[in-house]
A and B are shown apart, each in its own frame.
Chain A
Amino acid sequence: MSESKHHITGYGTYVLVWLGLLALTSLTVTVAGIDLGNFTLFVALTIAAIKSALVINIFMHIKFDEPIFKFFLLVSGATLFVIFALTFVDYSFR
């Protein structure tokens, strides 16, 4: 779209984010080997959430986009959070 503002992200940023994602992936693998008890899943999900935030914001350009897209993403994210929370009402109390 010609009238919308284009934000150009430098290659440097992309490479940095990519390296960050790789680092977080190796962190996930490392943490999987440690027994954290009830926190295992929580830690894995937190790392995954940080990774998807990076991808969505930088690679998918949502950070530089219109607020309406952020709102829709927020709705989906909130829905996902509610689904997780309610499912864990079962798993955490078995």
Chain B
Amino acid sequence: MANGNSAAITAKSFYEEGTTKAATGIRSWIFSTDHKRIGILYLISIAAFFFVGLIVGILMRLELIAPGQTIVDAQTYNQLFTLHGVIMIFLFIIPGIPAVFGNFFLPIQLGAQDVAFPRLNLLSWWVYIIGATLALISIVLPGGPMDTGWTFYIPYAVRTGTNVSLAIFAAFILGFSSMLTGLNFVTTVHRMRAPGMGWFKMPLFIWSTYATAWIQIIATPVVAITILLVIIERYFGVGIFDPALGGDPILYQHLFWIYSHPAVYIMILPAMGVVSEIIPTFSRRTIFGYKAVAMSSLAIAFVGYLVWAHHMFTSGMSETAQWIFSLLTYLVALPSGVKVFNWVATMYKGSIDPKPPFLWVMAFIFLFSIGGLTGLVLGSLATDIHLHDTYFVVAHFHYTMFGGTGTIFFAALFYWFPKMFGRMYNIKLASLSAGLFFIAFNTLYFPKFIMGYIGMPRRYFDYLPEFASLQVVSTIGSWLMLITVVLIFGNLIYSAFKGKRASMNPWGGVTLEWHISTPPPLHNFHEIPTVKHEPYDFSQLKELEHDS
């Protein structure tokens, strides 16, 4: 593709023109209602918390390098794994892709000038920051960081003296940020599509973000109410969940997972949308089975809502419930399989260009498939009894969430970075980091499958000597991971300021974000486009080149 057209070169980008009175400086960012600036605000805040979570993770692995106490005591270790979980789940991976890339690209891909409610969008970032600040305050206040694990299981969460109330109240606040983003996206998709952009002409990233937005709206209130009930129980001693007060601890688990399982799909669905964008672009072929991929997003969102109690097979739930939830769990594999097979079929006979975003997607397909298939092992009643609460679950979870969503967060970053920042990163280094990530990831997490299978329980500060060698391998993996993440962000941060200017369409993509100048102008489009093509119709490339 040639560099941007003449109109694009003369147009001011959203960096040069803002929505605030202040033209430059921090106020022009933190009070901006421009969806692109809000996306970048989210990117900076989420990446910062990711680093905190990563360092906590590295410390945990360091503690586990040898049996017995190594660098921290048992209580601190409990607090570390709780912090790692809470930060990574609530501050990184749930908001991650929708808040950063959804905010930045959903309106552009729809052909809109902004989201439906720009001020609500800014509010959602502020609410996120307030929630995150409260979570951080809970770490330093007397009582110390919470030590319950990120699931806050009752009765321990009611009885521990650590700062549970403030930390879960932070999660309550963060939930509002998520719901506001969801509301905004659903309304935007319904009301702001450009002329000609029918439902089945929307890019698949939009479909998956749309499905996610519905889960954000419908599932998040459940956890919000549950959190309030826990706080009421802690302060007023009302017996809701604690059996000593006449409550039911399994009721807590039901309510918690009614949100937290669909939340897993809030995490993974947008990632699947990104994959459906990257594969056609780098295979130069339209997606195979567009409607099936679009509908499978809705199907995952729907079925994913009905499977929560598979986290509770060993909790003392009724046997009838166990087999019903096990059956429903298996159903999720169907739409997930539809996606994976369609992605692979898209690549078949394509003209594949193995640039970094594509390499990251390949890593995703491999890692996520392992994560997904081991999910079936855990969804099956007999094997779950053996593997429940072992490292096997930890490995499965990290393969799906970090190998799945985390990998795609990086893929999306490498795919859209030139459009967001107007500069190109070092391609060789980016490809190298994808390879290194793959090695680091498997070194770090694969031993956990084996350790879990032979009986290593999760969340333990100490272990028996037979686990020692695998624990060391896993810890070495954590160092490799740290190096990889530093390489990724070093490359990107350097390039954001010093990289070569990126062209309008460096990858040869055809969705609407590749039709506009780089970085995009404040209102995205000089005039609202009329959509004539299917979303992945690569015959448009000739027109785009002609325009350039």
Contact = CB atoms under 8 A, between A and B. Distances in A.
Nearest to A90: B321
A79 B318 contact: no
A93 B320 contact: yes
Contacts of A89: 318, 320-321, 324-325
B interface: dominant SS: helix
Nearest to B218: A79
A41 B191 CA distance: 41
A76 B214 CA distance: 11
Contacts of A11: none
Contacts of A86: 306, 309, 321, 324-325
A5 interface: no
A93 B218 contact: no
B218 A90 contact: no
B442 to A, nearest CB: 36
Interface string B313-325: 0000111110011
B458 interface: no
B305 A79 contact: yes
Interface string A67-94: 0000000011001001100110111111
A93 B306 CA distance: 18
A79 B218 CA distance: 8
B223 interface: no
A87 B256 CA distance: 12
A79 to B, nearest CB: 5
B258 interface: yes
A15 B91 CA distance: 47
B523 interface: no
Contacts of B258: 83, 87
Which of A75, A90, A91, A94 has the most chain B CB atoms closer than 10 A to its own CB? A90
A88 B498 CA distance: 59
Interface in A7-66: none
Contact of A90 (B222, B305, B318): B318
Range of interface residues on B (Cβ < 8 Å): 10 to 19
Given A83-B258, A87-B254, A93 B309 contact: no
Contacts of A94: 317-318
Contacts of A93: 318-321
B250 interface: yes
Given A76-B218, A79-B218, A83-B258, A90 B306 contact: no
Contacts of B324: 86, 89
Contacts of A92: 318
Contacts of A91: 318
Interface string B228-264: 0000000000000000000000100010001000000
A87 B252 CA distance: 11
Contacts of B309: 86, 90
Which of B222, B258, B305, B318 has the most chain A CB atoms closer than 10 A to its own CB? B318
Contacts of B319: 93
A24 B222 CA distance: 26
B450 to A, nearest CB: 33
Interface string B275-319: 000000000000000000000000000000110010000000111
A90 B315 CA distance: 11
Contacts of B305: 79, 82
A90 B320 CA distance: 7
Nearest to A87: B254
Nearest to A91: B318
Contacts of A90: 250, 254, 309, 317-318, 320-321
A82 B250 CA distance: 18
Contacts of A83: 222, 258
Contacts of B321: 86, 89-90, 93
Which of B254, B305, B317, B321 has the most chain A CB atoms closer than 10 A to its own CB? B321
Nearest to A89: B321
A93 B318 CA distance: 6
B374 to A, nearest CB: 24
A87 B254 CA distance: 7
Nearest to B321: A90
Interface in B146-200: none
Nearest to A85: B306
Contacts of B325: 86, 89
A92 B320 CA distance: 9
B254 A82 contact: no
A41 to B, nearest CB: 12
Nearest to A88: B321
A77 B306 CA distance: 15
Given A87-B254, A89-B324, A90-B254, A82 B318 contact: no
Contacts of A87: 254, 258
A29 B288 CA distance: 59
A81 to B, nearest CB: 12
Nearest to B253: A90
Nearest to B309: A90
Given A90-B309, A90-B321, 16 more contacts: A79-B305, A82-B305, A83-B258, A86-B306, A86-B309, A86-B321, A86-B324, A87-B254, A89-B321, A89-B325, A90-B254, A91-B318, A93-B319, A93-B320, A94-B317, A94-B318
22 contacts: A75-B218, A76-B218, A79-B305, A82-B305, A83-B222, A83-B258, A86-B306, A86-B309, A86-B324, A86-B325, A87-B254, A87-B258, A89-B320, A89-B325, A90-B250, A90-B309, A90-B317, A90-B318, A90-B321, A91-B318, A92-B318, A93-B319
Interface of B: 218, 222, 250, 254, 258, 305-306, 309, 317-321, 324-325
List of 3 A-B pairs having minimum Cβ-Cβ separation, nearest first: A90-B321, A93-B318, A93-B320
